[in-house]
Amino acid sequence: MTPRPPRTTGWLFATPFLVFFGLFLVVPLGIGLWMSFTDASLTGAGGSTFVGLDNFTEALGDGQVWQTLGNTVWFTVLSTVPLVALALVMALLVYTGMPGQWLWRLSFFASHLLPVAVVYQIWNMLYQPDRGMLNGLLDLVGIDGIGWLTDEKYAMWSLALVTLWWTVGFNFLLYLAALQAIPDHLYEAAALDGAGAWRRLWSVTLPQLRRTTGLITVLQVMASLKVFDQIYLLTRGGPDGTTRPILEYIYDTGFTNYRLGYASAISYVFFGVIIILSLAQLKIFSRRED
């Protein structure tokens, strides 16, 4: 047995990471927390005075905070459900023997590699009310076109659809990997016991995927709560603020209206909401595993 290296070696290896982690995550987090108690302005005018909990009181009473938080949660629901369910269906179809697996794998995952600017260009064209492809197709079958991004009734659904198309490939890949990790002997045993294909799906495959589903759901909820880019590009939060996510409100408050202190406070309120949601999720999924 070789002697254990001194404890410091491990830390030394972690140093490059820790330096960057500290510099670009921990320190800004701390500065942000401090700013949320001040009236700091982006313009630096008037210095920044300590204002105690004023920003937090304002945030809790600010209708825009609640409205945009509501929009964010609504988007999370609209996007997470199909992003988990459809990814599972796609993975099952590919795994249970559609021919040309590599082609499906590639095409389901390819859109995930596109930068958001390209996604915006593509979908902005598809959604054009007057000369877009979607309304063109509706027109062919004699249905009046709809304002995909301009009508309050449809805008959020349209954004969820874009997000689904863009990111479902990642969840699909996680599911596919999990499917491939299910040991074959389980299926063999089930088959010997006379279980049909549906039985095997319900009693072997899905239970074996539970942990993956938990993981994907947690990751997806986080990702959806963080939504900003595609909405900012496609609707800028419109029509009438119905798709404005809370991150855009924070951005507008801090960088367009220069109120960094207040924007930090809203960020921390949102941070709190995310922590509560994550803890709740963790609890739900760990209980299921028992």
Partner 1 sequence: MTGLTRRGLLRGAVYGAGAAATASALSGCGSIAGSVTSADEIRYWNLFTGPDGDLMKQLTRNVEKRTEGLKVRTTVLEWGPPYYTKLAMASAGGRSPDVAIMHLTRLAGYAPGGLLDPWDMDLLAEFGLKQNDLNATLVKRSLYQGAPYAIPLDTHPFVVFFDRDVLDKAGLLDGEGRLVPFESPRHALELMDKLRRSGGKLGPVFGHSNDPAMSWRMFWSLFSQTGATFDLTGERAEIDEDTAVEVVRFMAELARDSRTMDVQTAIAAFAGGRSPMIFSGEWDMATYQSTLKDRLGGAPIPTFYDRPAGAADSHALVLPHQDNPDPERRRRTHQFVAGLVRSGLQWAAAGHIPAYTPAVSSAAYAKLRPQSEYAGAAKQLALDPPVWFAGSGSDFQTRMSQALDPAIGGSSPAKAVRTMVSQINTLLAQPNPA
Q: Does 128 bind partner 1 (CB under 8 A)?
A: yes
Task: Write down the least CB distance from residue 168 to partner 1, Å.
Answer: 25
CA distance 91 to 278: 26
CA distance 154 to 150: 8
Contact 201, 53 (CB under 8 A): no
The interface region with partner 1, picked from 26-34, 180-188, 219-227, 231-239 by CB under 8 A, is 231-239
Structure tokens, 264: 């930090």
Identified binder of partner 1 from the candidate list 80, 237, 250, 269, rule CB under 8 A? 237
Q: Does 43 bind partner 1 (CB under 8 A)?
A: yes
Q: Does 214 bind partner 1 (CB under 8 A)?
A: no
Q: Does 21 bind partner 1 (CB under 8 A)?
A: no
Contact 285, 214 (CB under 8 A): yes
Structure tokens, 175: 């599911």
H or E stretch at 26 = none
Within 10 Å of residue 262's Cβ, how many Cβ atoms? 26
Task: Write down the least CB distance from residue 275 to partner 1, Å.
Answer: 28
Contact 167, 83 (CB under 8 A): yes
Cα separations in angstroms, 77 against 33, 106, 188, 266: 29, 27, 38, 21
Q: Does 259 bind partner 1 (CB under 8 A)?
A: yes
Task: Write down the least CB distance from residue 270 to partner 1, Å.
Answer: 19
Closest to partner 1 by CB, 43 vs 180, is: 43
Q: Does 252 bind partner 1 (CB under 8 A)?
A: yes
Number of residues that bind partner 1 (CB under 8 A): 36
Which residue is associated with the tokens 């689904």? 164
Q: Does 16 bind partner 1 (CB under 8 A)?
A: yes
Identified binder of partner 1 from the candidate list 3, 5, 52, 63, rule CB under 8 A? 63
Identified binder of partner 1 from the candidate list 147, 186, 190, 226, rule CB under 8 A? 147
Q: Does 129 bind partner 1 (CB under 8 A)?
A: yes
Q: Does 2 bind partner 1 (CB under 8 A)?
A: no
Secondary structure (3-state) at 234: helix
Q: Report the candidate in 108, 45, 62 with the shortest Cα–Cα distance to residue 265.
A: 62
Identified binder of partner 1 from the candidate list 9, 11, 13, 107, rule CB under 8 A? 13
Secondary structure (3-state) at 187: helix
Q: Does 82 bind partner 1 (CB under 8 A)?
A: no
The interface region with partner 1, picked from 57-65, 73-81, 104-112, 217-225 by CB under 8 A, is 57-65
Report the sign of the C-alpha dihedral through residues 172, 178, 181, 187, in that order.
Answer: negative
Q: List contacts with partner 1 (CB under 8 A).
A: 13, 16, 20, 39, 41-46, 62-64, 128-131, 147, 149-152, 234-241, 252, 255-259
